[in-house]
Amino acid sequence: MKNYLDELNEPQREAVEATEGPLMVIAGAGSGKTRVLTFRIAHLIEKGVDPFNILSLTFTNKAAREMKDRISKVVGANEAKNLWMGTFHSVFARILRVEATRLGYPSDFTIYDTQDTQSVMKKVLEELQLDKDIYKPKQVLHRISQLKNNLITVRAYHNNPELIEADAAAMRPKMGDVYRAYVDRCFKSGAMDFDDLLLRTNEVLTRFPEVLAKYQERFKYILVDEYQDTNHSQYLIVKALASRYENLCVVGDDAQSIYAFRGANIRNILSFQQDYPDAKVIALEQNYRSTKTIVGAANQIIAQNKDQLEKNVWTANDQGQTIPIYRALTDADEARYVASQIWELEINEHLKHQDIAILYRTNAQSRAIEEALRKRNLPYRVFGGTSFFQRKEIKDLVAYLRLLINQNDEEALLRIINYPARGIGQTTLNKLTVASGELDKSIYEILENIGQYNSKIGLNKPTSQKLNDFITMIKSFKVMLQNHDVYEVATHVAKTTGLIKTLKEDDTPEGISRLENLQEILNSIQGYVEEQKQLDEGDPSLSGFLENVALATDADNSDDDENKVSLMTVHLAKGLEFPAVFIVGLEENLFPSMMNLNTRQELEEERRLFYVALTRAEKFAQMTYSVSRFRWGKIVDSEPSRFLEEIDDKYLEWKNLNAGLPINKSGLNANLFEDDYSQVPKFERKKPEEKKPATPLKPKAGFKPVAQANIINQMNGESVELSAGKIVMHDRFGKGKVISLEGEMDNVKATVLFDNAGEKKLLLNFAKLKVIS
């Protein structure tokens, strides 16, 4: 227990022991930053600091849990349990449960997720009669998010001619009205969006000195992980809380700042020393994670960026293998290659599924990979994308529960008032909404006294009765909540509202899976209730559960013990490490993203993202790019990413540079499903030392009519040869005979004479033809 300090190197140890005063730790990738944070907290407790006085802000809730576990092992669970650890959003949501009433919010305020806010915004824009093609909900919300993260309130906005002008110049002169209406609407619904959680925390700390003093006293020691990714709002909260004792330790790596798009401000880390002139700064430069090859290649990448702090990450680890870079012909080929390499790694290097991660730039890329993994029977888990709690069937049930806690939650109410269908249509809802505005009462309040309003609103008897039935049902749930636990209520809700029945009627695979999801959420509610009942400070209440739902990140609820290959975006991979990592889709306009090519700053963030991806790898890293890819339903040609050029060839091993698309020999994409390309007509072999690898060696697109083409059999994914005379099957047209084939390489058209539908020209890329004989 005492010798934990011996497990640290010199700078790590220094960072752990410098407990008093401001400290910034610049931690290179893989340099043991989590270790430092963990031991530092343990050390504080060992020195006699009350865990109650320590606040630790992590990037995910999962990271917080893991750190807590590790601290428990050093100082004991009893000590560790009083630590405040979590993400900014979850910690300050907890604080706002106590303090938000000062700002006029209910303490059971709802947290609106992205879906909710978009839905609110659409209604706002409709009400203001603004063109939703100009005021695109997503863009407008992004703008508001920017404003909030810079603590520009509605009033501040209207007092700021510069901002108003900027929005006018961007063709959105009504931005201020939209902002006000959106904020009002959320407030009336007793709801906060993600940015509000930070903005309102700032507000409460600024407006109420006694609140500030309370939390300053409470959090005498503050630690912030991933400091490079904090935004201005978070920065100010930390600054305010730490200003009394200044026992603030921030840990970060400017080279890994990848959240500028959501307001992260790299200046927070770059200017720490100006904010705290007597701050101690410690750099952790020894990488314990990766091979020399990986560290060397990563260093070369990041060296291309201008905006960065000097540092020299090095490692004493083995040289390791060179990094293979596979040039794929299509995204399917890329996926197939990755799957086959995973097999090899598992056999030759004795890796388990869980040792392997596949990282990509966009969530959409997972599909092709998933398919290839399934074919190889490799179990996998996809992180991110539409998370469990975003699914419709889950949101429906949660909306009922939300309404029980916060009757003003209009999003929840409108979502479920007619789901499952109970004959309350759009017309009725419009009337209610109008009445709600005129009477300045929430829709729920109107419904509670529907008898007294229905003539004024203009509702007929049957409709009024339906509304009354609905509100009676909701009220009965509320009553039940008083003496039953959340699981019992949720189950009752799912049954009595007809949610389960509706899903049961749908026996398509999707319907069945939705029913399973509903079952799963009920199970997880039960699990949550049981778990919270066990804990001393557990909160088995419905509002506690709902907060978890709103702030759960996908990285949080992983089944750790499952042995599966991980698939995720590079963003989600931050802070993780794997023995083997595949980075796929290294192509121009994808990674770097086409959206981020306009300014140097944007491009540098993409480069940092690539740096993060590569530095996740311990022993084996591989990269792939494809010369063509399915995007927006079309095959798009692509070129290798510029980032590949930035790595010295001594670290790399270029693979499959010669494979082309031999349209004149055996047809389109003939060789996608074989590993042996030796039979394929060769393009000029490229020698890396002669030519920069990233210069695309694209096979020239052929424009000749083709005699044959290979299509991919929809059933088993195998390639099947197609030529004139073959009998094929089409979903809509039925059976038919191929008359001829024509067209360009990736754009082959087949003329088919169908038995019942006559002659059709079909694009092979789109028509799902099955070859019968």
Helix (H, G, I), strand (E, B) or coil at 252: strand
Q: Which of 38, 56, 87, 436 binds DNA (CB under 7 A)?
A: 87
Which tokens sit at 313?
A: 């990450």
Question: Is 29 annotated as ligand-binding?
Answer: yes
Binding to DNA in span 60-79, by CB under 7 A: 60
Interface with DNA, residue 216, by CB under 7 A: no
By the 10 Å C-beta count (0-12 exposed, 13-18 middle, 19+ buried), 451 is classed as: exposed
* Phi/psi-derived region of residue 309, left when phi > 0, alpha when psi is between -120 and 50, beta in every other case: beta
Question: Is 32 annotated as ligand-binding?
Answer: yes
Residue in the structure block whose two tokens are 């904020």? 183
Q: Determine whether 616 is an active site residue.
A: yes
Q: How many CB atoms lie within 10 A of CB 30?
A: 23
Interface with DNA, residue 557, by CB under 7 A: no
Q: Determine whether 40 is an active site residue.
A: no
**How many whole angstroms separate alpha carbon 668 and alpha carbon 250?**
55
Nearer to DNA, 327 or 415 (CB): 415
Binding mask 358-377 for DNA (x = CB under 7 A): ---xxxx-------------
Site stretch for DNA (CB under 7 A), options 28-36, 83-91, 613-621, 677-685 = 83-91
Interface with DNA, residue 650, by CB under 7 A: no
By the 10 Å C-beta count (0-12 exposed, 13-18 middle, 19+ buried), 757 is classed as: middle
**How many whole angstroms separate alpha carbon 3 and alpha carbon 388?**
43
Q: Which of 277, 421, 536, 715 binds DNA (CB under 7 A)?
A: 421
- Are the C-beta atoms of residues 22 and 246 closer than 8 Å to each other? yes
Question: Is 176 annotated as ligand-binding?
Answer: no
**How many whole angstroms separate alpha carbon 194 and alpha carbon 141?**
12
Which tokens sit at 121?
A: 């915004």
Question: Is 423 annotated as ligand-binding?
Answer: no
Span between the terminal Cα atoms of the chain, in Å: 72
Q: Determine whether 422 is an active site residue.
A: no
Residue 122 Cβ vs DNA, minimum distance, rounded to whole Å: 6
Which of the following is catalytic: 167, 225, 396, 606? 225
Helix (H, G, I), strand (E, B) or coil at 28: coil
Beta bridge partners of 193: 112
Residue 81 Cβ vs DNA, minimum distance, rounded to whole Å: 22
Interface with DNA, residue 642, by CB under 7 A: no
CA torsion angle for 766, 767, 770, 773 (degrees, to 10)?
Answer: -120
Q: Determine whether 225 is an active site residue.
A: yes
Nearer to DNA, 338 or 551 (CB): 551
Helix (H, G, I), strand (E, B) or coil at 728: strand
Nearer to DNA, 222 or 551 (CB): 551
Residue 421 Cβ vs DNA, minimum distance, rounded to whole Å: 4
**How many whole angstroms separate alpha carbon 444 and alpha carbon 153?**
28
Nearer to DNA, 451 or 688 (CB): 451
Q: Which of 428, 464, 524, 628 binds DNA (CB under 7 A)?
A: 428
Which of the following is catalytic: 110, 256, 330, 365? 256
Residue 529 Cβ vs DNA, minimum distance, rounded to whole Å: 23
Q: How many CB atoms lie within 10 A of CB 388?
A: 14
Interface with DNA, residue 122, by CB under 7 A: yes
**How many whole angstroms separate alpha carbon 549 and alpha carbon 439?**
33
**How many whole angstroms separate alpha carbon 264 and alpha carbon 286?**
26
Interface with DNA, residue 768, by CB under 7 A: yes
- Are the C-beta atoms of residues 4 and 74 closer than 8 Å to each other? yes
Element of type H or E holding 699: none
Residue 70 Cβ vs DNA, minimum distance, rounded to whole Å: 21
**How many whole angstroms separate alpha carbon 163 and alpha carbon 152?**
10
Binding to DNA in span 569-608, by CB under 7 A: 569, 571-572, 593, 595-596, 602
Nearer to DNA, 53 or 410 (CB): 410
Q: Determine whether 618 is an active site residue.
A: no
**How many whole angstroms separate alpha carbon 195 and alpha carbon 333?**
41
Nearer to DNA, 425 or 437 (CB): 425
Site stretch for DNA (CB under 7 A), options 26-34, 35-43, 176-184, 418-426 = 418-426
Helix (H, G, I), strand (E, B) or coil at 369: helix
Site stretch for DNA (CB under 7 A), options 71-79, 86-94, 443-451, 575-583 = 86-94
Interface with DNA, residue 384, by CB under 7 A: yes
> Sign (positive/negative) of CA torsion 365, 385, 714, 703?
negative
Q: Which of 76, 173, 209, 423 binds DNA (CB under 7 A)?
A: 423
Q: Determine whether 33 is an active site residue.
A: yes
Question: Is 725 annotated as ligand-binding?
Answer: no
Interface with DNA, residue 427, by CB under 7 A: yes
Residue 423 Cβ vs DNA, minimum distance, rounded to whole Å: 4
Q: How many residues does the chain have?
A: 773
Interface with DNA, residue 268, by CB under 7 A: no
| Closest C-alpha to 104, from 239, 234, 208 | 208
Residue positions forming the annotated binding site for ATP: 27-34
**Catalytic residue positions?**
33-34, 225-226, 256, 616
Q: Give the footprint of DNA on this chain (CB under 7 A).
A: 60, 87-90, 114, 122, 133, 138, 194-195, 261-262, 361-364, 384, 418, 421-428, 463, 551, 553-555, 569, 571-572, 593, 595-596, 602, 631-633, 768
